[in-house]
Amino acid sequence: MAKRYPIEPIVSDVLIRPAELAALRSSTVRGTFFVQTWGCQMNEEDSEQMGLYMRQIGFEPAASLREAHVVLLNTCSVRKKPEDKAFSLLGELAPIKAGRPDMVLGVCGCMAQLRADEIRRRAPHVDFVVGTAQIAQIPGLVEEALQRRRFAKRLHLPERKGAVVTDLPVRHVGRKTKLKAFVPIQYGCDKFCTFCIVPTTRGRERSRPTEDIVEEVAKLAAQGTREVTLLGQTVNSYGKNLAEGRVPFSRLLWRLAEVEGLERIRYTSPYPRDFRADLIEAIRDCPKVMEHVHLPLQSGDDDMLRSMRRLYTREGFLSIVDELRRTVPGIGITTDIIVGFPGETQEQFEATLEVVERVRFDGAFMFIYSPRPGTPAAELPQLTYEVKNARLQQLAELQNRVSVEINQTYVDREMEVLVEGPSPKNPTMLQGFSREFKMVHFPGDASLVGMTVIVRAIEARLWGLIAQPVVSPTRRSL
> Which residues of this chain interact with ligand SF4, rule CB under 6 A?
189, 191-193, 196, 198-199, 233-234, 271
- Residue 274 Cβ vs ligand SF4, minimum distance, rounded to whole Å: 10
- Residue 318 Cβ vs ligand SF4, minimum distance, rounded to whole Å: 19
Paired residues of 460 in beta bridges:
465
- Residue 431 Cβ vs ligand SF4, minimum distance, rounded to whole Å: 30
Nearer to ligand SF4, 60 or 190 (CB): 190
Render the burial of 394-421: b for 16+ CB within 10 Å, e for the rest.
ebbebbbebbeebbeebeeeebbbbbbb
What are the backbone angles phi and psi of residue 126, rounded to the nearest 5°?
Answer: -75, 135
- Residue 304 Cβ vs ligand SF4, minimum distance, rounded to whole Å: 14
- Residue 56 Cβ vs ligand SF4, minimum distance, rounded to whole Å: 30
Nearer to ligand SF4, 273 or 456 (CB): 273
Nearer to ligand SF4, 107 or 198 (CB): 198
Render the burial of 101-111: b for 16+ CB within 10 Å, e for the rest.
eebbbbbbbbb
Counting every residue, how long is the chain? 478
- Residue 236 Cβ vs ligand SF4, minimum distance, rounded to whole Å: 11
DSSP summary character for residue 462: S
Nearer to ligand SF4, 118 or 302 (CB): 302
- Residue 199 Cβ vs ligand SF4, minimum distance, rounded to whole Å: 5
What does the alpha-carbon distance between residue 380 and residue 192 come to, in Å, rounded to a whole number?
16
- Residue 189 Cβ vs ligand SF4, minimum distance, rounded to whole Å: 3
Edge-first strand order for the sheet with 363-368 is 292-294, 332-339, 363-368
Nearer to ligand SF4, 192 or 385 (CB): 192
Alpha helices in 291-384 (DSSP H): 302-308, 314-327, 346-359
Nearer to ligand SF4, 116 or 196 (CB): 196
What does the alpha-carbon distance between residue 31 and residue 426 come to, in Å, rounded to a whole number?
25
What does the alpha-carbon distance between residue 383 and residue 367 come to, in Å, rounded to a whole number?
14
The conformational region for residue 43 under phi > 0 = left, psi -120 to 50 = alpha, else beta, is: alpha
What are the backbone angles phi and psi of residue 93, rounded to the nearest 5°?
Answer: -75, -20
Q: How many of the other CB atoms lie within 10 Å of CB of 429?
A: 16
What does the alpha-carbon distance between residue 377 and residue 343 come to, in Å, rounded to a whole number?
10
- Residue 269 Cβ vs ligand SF4, minimum distance, rounded to whole Å: 7
DSSP summary character for residue 244: T
- Residue 367 Cβ vs ligand SF4, minimum distance, rounded to whole Å: 11
What are the backbone angles phi and psi of residue 8, rounded to the nearest 5°?
Answer: -80, 125
| Amino acid in position 281 | E
What does the alpha-carbon distance between residue 188 and residue 234 come to, in Å, rounded to a whole number?
9
What does the alpha-carbon distance between residue 228 and residue 172 come to, in Å, rounded to a whole number?
9
Nearer to ligand SF4, 12 or 327 (CB): 12
What does the alpha-carbon distance between residue 243 and residue 211 come to, in Å, rounded to a whole number?
12
Nearer to ligand SF4, 134 or 236 (CB): 236
Nearer to ligand SF4, 192 or 463 (CB): 192
Nearer to ligand SF4, 291 or 336 (CB): 336
